Structure formats: C-alpha cells, structure tokens
Structure 1
Amino acid sequence: MIKLARMHPDEDACFYPWIADSEVIQYSLSAFQAMKTPAQIDDWFAATLRDEKSLNLGIYLQETDTLIGYAGISNLSATNRSGEYFILIGEKAYWGKGVGTAVTKQVLALGFTEHHLNRIMLTVSELNPSGIKAYTNAGFVVEGRLRAACCRDGLFHDKIVMSVLKEEWQPSEV
C-alpha cells in the first residue's frame, strides 16, 4: 500500500495544507505550530532535505506515487548508534488504516539494518492514543514520562518516552 522514498524539492507544496491544518499538526514537530506562510514551509522543507544527520523519507502511496506524509529518524548518532523516530501522516484519509504502524516498522528496519542503530526512541503526546498504539504495535516500549513537556492550545500535557533496542526488535513483513 505504501512505500518510503526520498522526497523531491518540488514536493514542498504538499506540506502547505497539512501544516495549515491544526488537527494534522496537533502532536507533531513544535516548529510546525509557528509556520504560517508558504515561504516558512519552503525554508523548513529545503533544510529538511539537506539535513545529513537525519533520515527523511516521504510516505508515498505505492500505486500512484502520491505523497501522503513523511517519516524518518532524526538526530542520528554514529557514536551512540541511536536516533529519534518521527512521522507525520498529512492526508487524513489514511489515518486509522494501519499506515502509521506499517511506516514505523519500515523505518525501524532501515534504522537497524542499513544504519546499524542500536536504539531508536521517540516521544509521543499522552493525548495521542493512536500514536501510542501504532508505536507499541511496531515494538516500542515505554521508558518514561516527560512531565508537562508539551503545550498545545494553552494547555500543558506529558510526553511519553518510548524506545526499541535492536536486540528487542522483531523483523516482520511490512
């Protein structure tokens, strides 16, 4: 159903409606909360494509090559053999259909096999049960809680810290 691939510089406009939709970015990258113009999104997107310390991949529908989101691993550390997982599914029509779990499993496979990581972690809002479920289904386990670490709509809430170690990771067909 989906495939992961490098994004192209001309795909920045795909992010305009996603970042403008408060529901899509509610639990995503804090920087998205401040982006209001296409120029700001273009600058972020260009920097994302140049970021050599991250694995940034587009989430594409396999049959049509339509970009529906992006995912990857940021803060790649060769020394610690670790990184931080992220995902944004911008097209809401694909929410709740297992895309998040499938993408997460594919990115974990890339992280552990091609990038030789030992640990991949993430933080997820406690108010995002769908995200927590997808991450748990992909093999992440809860490590702890960052109290009042996120502020959305003027309210603070906790972020859950989750990780998966290579020794715990169970390769699966994705």
Structure 2
Amino acid sequence: MIRTSALRETPTLTGKSVRLVPLGPEHTDAYFAAGLDEEVRRLTGSHGHITYQQARDWCESRAGRTDRLDLAIIAPRDGRYLGELSIYGVSPENETAGYRIALSAIEFTGQGLGREATQLVLEYAFEQIGLHRVWLYVYAFNMRAIAVYRSCGFYVEGRLRDALLWEGRRHDALLMAVLRGGTRGR
C-alpha cells in the first residue's frame, strides 16, 4: 500500500554530490534557463520553449501535491541548481509511477550526479512512498542516460518506434522500469 502523504511531504534527500529539495518558486530562474538549453531540450524531446511565466507558475504549483513529487537537484556545497526530477503518474492501485530527470546543462553530465539523484529518489519511492515499480521513457540515442538507468536497476521493457521527430529525424524511445529491490526483468 502506498503512502500518498509521502508525496505531499516533499522531502529533502541528501547524498554526497547532490541534495534533492522541493521544487519551488526560488528555482524559477534556473528552471527557465534550463529549458532554453538546446541539448537539454533535445535529450528530453522538448520542442517548444516555455515562457518565464509558465516556468514561474510550474515552480509555484509543485507544493502539497499528492499525485506527484517534483524535486530540484542542488549542489550541496554552493546551492547551485543542477536540474530537476519527478515521480509522476502515480497509480496507487498498482503501486507504480513514472520517473523523469533533467540535468540543467550538459556540463553536469558524466559526473555521476544523475545516478546519485536517481538512486536517492528511488530509495524514497520504494521505502517511503511504497511503490513497487518505477518506469521511464528515454530516447534510444541517449546512451549515457540508458547506462545510468541500467546501473540503477532499470531494465528495458519495450520500444516505442519513431516516438520522437527531431530536426527531421525519427527516434525510438525505450520503456525502462525497475522493481522494488532492484529486481531486473525476467
């Protein structure tokens, strides 16, 4: 049985290189700037640009929700915004939810930050929220992210052919999931 109150509580989770804090209005500027980064947009398949007001509205509306958990990824030493992540699409009946993460700039990749953030939030999702399965979609060209997800126990469960049209080219998306305890696919 899942605890939706664990979503509303919006925890602060601290690791060695990242701190996950509730996404809020104080992150608006950095969240908006991340949405302008072309590589971040490509890796997330985000075609359009959000306006500053949309970014503000989004960041201001995250607190107190019981259907999702939105956290900012912060550098513990200097408080620098590194990105954001979400547990969303929570299905209490099935004890499942979706997961997404976006580092705010390509300069933050390759340092283990995404892996650490993912491990922290998965531990919270399984142990505090009580989820059994967490799933995600990742574009097949994003080999770095796929490797990180695999190292966190995610297993490829399916392929959505031609799911993204980016600059005239079509790309597949992979459906990946991890089960409580890191149980891999059969």
Over 3 Å counting, the alpha-carbon distance change for 1:6 and 1:129 in structure 2 is same
* Percent identity (aligned): 28
3-state secondary structure, aligned to 2:35? helix
Q: Deviations over 1:33-53 (max 9, x none)?
A: 222421232233334446431
1:120 aligns to what? 134
3-state secondary structure, aligned to 1:33? coil
Find the aligned partners of 2:183 and 2:158 in 1 and give their Cα distance: 19
Scaled by the length of structure 1, what TM-score is found? 0.88
| 1:11 lines up with 2:27 in the alignment | yes
| TM superposition shift of 1:92 | 2.8
| TM superposition shift of 1:166 | 0.8
1:90 aligns to what? 104
Find the aligned partners of 1:26 and 1:49 in 2 and give their Cα distance: 28
1:157 aligns to what? 171
Find the aligned partners of 1:102 and 1:39 in 2 and give their Cα distance: 31
| TM superposition shift of 1:67 | 1.6
**1:1-174 mapped onto 2 (5 Å cutoff):** 1-28=17-44, 32-49=46-63, 51-169=65-183
Name whichever of 11-20 and 116-125 sits farther off. Answer: 11-20
| TM superposition shift of 1:167 | 4.0
Q: After the TM superposition, which parts of structure 1 deviate over 6 Å for at least 4 consecutive aligned residues? A: none
Find the aligned partners of 2:95 and 2:50 in 1 and give their Cα distance: 35
Over 3 Å counting, the alpha-carbon distance change for 1:148 and 1:96 in structure 2 is same
Find the aligned partners of 1:50 and 1:111 in 2 and give their Cα distance: 17
Find the aligned partners of 2:63 and 2:34 in 1 and give their Cα distance: 18
Find the aligned partners of 1:49 and 1:132 in 2 and give their Cα distance: 30
Find the aligned partners of 1:169 and 1:7 in 2 and give their Cα distance: 30
Q: Deviations over 1:22-67 (max 9, x none)?
A: 1112122x5x422242123223333444643111111011111222
Quick one: higher RCO (CA 8 Å, sep 6+), 1 or 2? 2
3-state secondary structure, aligned to 1:17? helix
Name whichever of 153-162 and 36-45 sits farther off. Answer: 36-45
Structure 2 portions without partners, runs of 5+: 1-16
3-state secondary structure, aligned to 2:158? strand
Over 3 Å counting, the alpha-carbon distance change for 1:142 and 1:11 in structure 2 is same
RMSD of Structure 2 on Structure 1 (CA) = 1.8
Find the aligned partners of 2:147 and 2:56 in 1 and give their Cα distance: 32
3-state secondary structure, aligned to 1:84? strand
Structure 1 portions without partners, runs of 5+: none
3-state secondary structure, aligned to 2:134? strand
Find the aligned partners of 1:51 and 1:13 in 2 and give their Cα distance: 22
